[in-house]
């Protein structure tokens, strides 16, 4: 077996700097060096520790990554574009590229990381810590090694956008709960969607985004007595969902259509307590196990 070919991909800033001798004047190179030094000093002051050699060294790695991230976005080219990157550095300045990169990190940090939403997610202190952690994770770039920060950034954007779509769908379901909007700063997005889909098996005329044991008992008795067509209920339910959220809900319906222990066991002699336990496995904190 032939050995794998390893393609070196240093940070875009480093690849552009290598072109300086043949593409830029000494004055332009000096200006760029001053700019990068200034950015490094700023990063050391705000994100690492400007009073230690280690802090300045870490700030240098973050400067390389932050500028490189911005350059990748500005040139919109992964495999080529080193000369374009140098043109940006000389024409627009390294600060312009760094601000573009940091803005990308800030926008990423604003997207939800998890479908379990807590009131602490909106806390300014927590948000600032999350921003710093993302900045360090993605933009730490050793000038002498390959760097995959831009690819990891794109992957996280895609992942978080999917999470955001789930959260938005759950928020809509809560807003349209049959008893009135569910107002709770903590949100188990997957739990809300699961609960709504399970209850829609009875019929899609109303949306259930939060339930208690008494309502669940009524639901179980109704299914056991009338044996409704689950597919018809889900079709009615999906028709009520706005187009922006239909893909998320439809995907979950397909999952529960193939396997949902709650709906599967309703047709058996399982007790309400057993079924309630199964429901909590799907909906978690969105279920109130006690009688109102």
For CA atoms 123, 113, 116, 197, the dihedral sign is positive
pLDDT of residue 210: 95
Instruction: Work out how many domains the chain is built from and give that number.
Output: 2
In a domain, 259, yes or no: yes
Beta carbons of 278 and 265 less than 8 angstroms apart: yes
User: Does a structural domain hold residue 46?
Assistant: yes
Ramachandran category for residue 2: left, alpha or beta (phi over 0 → left; psi -120 to 50 → alpha): beta
Q: What pairing do the DSSP bridges indicate for beta strands 187-188 and 287-288?
A: unpaired
Final residue in a domain of this structure, among 141, 176, 203: 141
Together in a domain, 68 and 130: yes
Say whether both 137 and 17 belong to one domain: yes
What's residue 205's pLDDT? 87
Kindly report the backbone phi and psi dihedral angles of residue 288, in degrees, each rounded to the nearest multiple of 5, phi listed first. -95, 110
Instruction: Give the integer Cα–Cα distance in Å for 206 and 221.
Output: 17
Q: So what's the pLDDT on residue 123?
A: 85
Tell me, yes or no, whether 163 lies in a domain: no
Give which of 13, 188, 34 is closest to 114, Cα–Cα: 188
Q: Which two tokens stand for residue 206?
A: 């109303």
Mark whether 16 and 131 lie in a shared domain. Answer: yes
Is 192 within 8 Å of 209 (Cβ atoms)?
yes
Q: Are residues 190 and 274 in the same domain?
A: yes
Looking at the structure, tell me whether residues 135 and 236 fall in a common domain: no
**DSSP output for 235-283:** HHHHHHS-HHHHHHHHHHHHHHHH--HHHHHHTTT--HHHHHHHHHHHH
Residues 115 and 221 in one domain: no
The pLDDT assigned to 182 comes to 95
Question: DSSP alpha helices (H): ranges in the chain?
Answer: 12-17, 20-23, 26-47, 53-75, 82-91, 94-109, 124-139, 149-175, 189-200, 213-226, 230-240, 243-258, 261-266, 272-283
Q: Is the distance from CB of 253 to CB of 213 less than 8 angstroms?
A: no
In order along its 292 residues, the chain shows pLDDT tens digits of 544 455 678 999 999 999 999 998 999 999 999 999 999 999 999 999 888 999 999 999 999 999 999 999 999 754 568 999 999 999 999 999 999 999 999 999 999 999 999 888 878 898 899 999 999 999 999 999 999 999 999 999 999 999 999 999 999 999 999 999 999 999 999 999 999 999 999 998 899 999 999 999 999 999 999 999 999 999 999 999 999 999 999 999 999 999 999 999 999 999 999 999 999 999 999 998 665 4
**Contacts made by residues 81-86, CB under 8 angstroms, sequence distance 24+:** 81/12, 82/12, 82/15, 82/16, 82/18, 82/19, 83/16, 83/19, 83/23, 85/12, 85/13, 85/15, 85/16, 86/16, 86/17, 86/19, 86/20, 86/23, 86/24
- 125, 141, 157 - which closes a domain: 141
Residues 86, 126, single domain; the answer is yes
Residue 146 lies in a domain: no
Instruction: Specify whether 190 is located in the same domain as 132.
Output: no
- Containing domain of residue 209, as a range? 168-288
């Amino acid at each position: 077996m032939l050995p794998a070919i390893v393609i070196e991909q240093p940070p875009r800033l480093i690849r552009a700097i290598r072109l300086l001798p043949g593409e830029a004047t000494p004055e332009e190179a000096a200006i760029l060096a001053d700019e990068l030094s200034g950015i490094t000093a700023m990063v050391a002051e705000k994100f690492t520790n400007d009073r230690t050699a280690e802090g300045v060294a870490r700030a240098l790695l973050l400067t390389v990554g932050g500028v490189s991230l911005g350059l990748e976005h500005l040139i919109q080219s992964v495999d080529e574009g080193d000369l374009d990157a140098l043109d940006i550095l000389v024409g627009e300045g390294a600060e312009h590229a760094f601000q573009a990169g940091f803005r990308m990190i800030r926008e990423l940090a604003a997207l939800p990381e998890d479908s379990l939403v807590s009131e602490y997610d909106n806390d300014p202190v927590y948000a600032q810590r999350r921003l710093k952690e993302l900045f360090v994770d993605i933009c730490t770039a050793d000038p002498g090694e390959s760097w995959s920060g831009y690819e990891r950034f794109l992957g996280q954007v895609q992942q978080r956008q999917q999470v955001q779509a789930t959260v938005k769908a759950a928020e809509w379901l809560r807003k349209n709960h049959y008893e009135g909007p569910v107002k709770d700063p903590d949100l188990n997005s997957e739990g809300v969607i699961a609960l709504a889909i399970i209850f829609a098996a009875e019929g899609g005329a109303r949306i259930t985004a939060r339930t208690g044991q008494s309502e669940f008992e009524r639901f179980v008795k109704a299914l056991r007595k009338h044996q409704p067509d689950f597919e018809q209920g889900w079709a009615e339910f999906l028709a009520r969902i706005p187009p922006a959220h239909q893909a998320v809900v439809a995907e979950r319906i397909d999952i529960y259509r193939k396997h949902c222990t709650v709906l599967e066991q309703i047709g058996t002699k399982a007790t309400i307590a057993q079924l309630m336990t199964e429901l909590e496995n799907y909906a978690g904190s969105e279920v109130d196990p006690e009688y109102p």
